[in-house]
Amino acid sequence: MKLNKLMILAFVALGLSACQKEYVKETIPGSELAGRWYVEYTVDGEDIYGVGHTTLLTYTTAAADGKEIIVTDEDHFWSFKAKTPANPAGLSFGSTDSTTSLVDGYDIKMIVKNGMVIPGAGRSKTGVVTDSIYMVVGFADDAPGAEYVVSGHRRTGFIEDEY
């Protein structure tokens, strides 16, 4: 009798767990553009400063409405932190208008333009398929008209892929 009750209880528990709704991950607008990236800064395809791969962060603003993102190099290349318009549906960001860098004590004018995230188009150090990022940046305290192509891939988190 005890065994029958246990079996019935097990079937009921199994049946209830099978009826649960599928988990749907909630995201905020703009999160498609957010991430930690390994990028290179080039001019005409050449890393003119010999910096190599550095990290770059993109993340949503406190408004969490997807209309703007923050792009920062965390002091790895030029020490910049820019708030720029974003279009999460088009996986794009940037503007032809300049903005003031948000780095404390270094409020230079800069530009972030032609930014895009391309799903599955990047390759990590070991060849893992990941997202790719591309944008063009320029700084007011650099040579007039100087712009850098910033391109790379999303960080995988695997130790073998770290730079």
> Can you give the pLDDT at residue 20?
60
CA distance readout (Å), 2 to 8, 12, 15, 86, 113: 10, 15, 20, 62, 71
> Can you give the pLDDT at residue 48?
92
Check: pTM over 0.85? Answer yes or no: no
| Kind of pairing between the strands at 148-154 and 68-72 | unpaired
| Cα dihedral: 148, 153, 158, 162 (round 10) | -20
- Going residue by residue through the chain (163 aa), what tens digit of pLDDT does each one get? 555 565 565 555 555 555 567 777 777 888 899 999 999 999 999 999 999 999 999 999 888 888 999 999 999 999 999 999 999 999 999 999 999 999 999 989 999 999 999 999 999 999 999 999 999 999 999 999 899 999 999 999 999 999 9
> Can you give the pLDDT at residue 13?
56
- CATH for 28-156 (3.30.2020.30, 3.40.50.2000, 3.30.1330.60, 2.40.128.220): 2.40.128.220
> Can you give the pLDDT at residue 30?
83
> Can you give the pLDDT at residue 18?
52
SS3 label, residue 77: coil
> Can you give the pLDDT at residue 4?
59
> Can you give the pLDDT at residue 23?
74
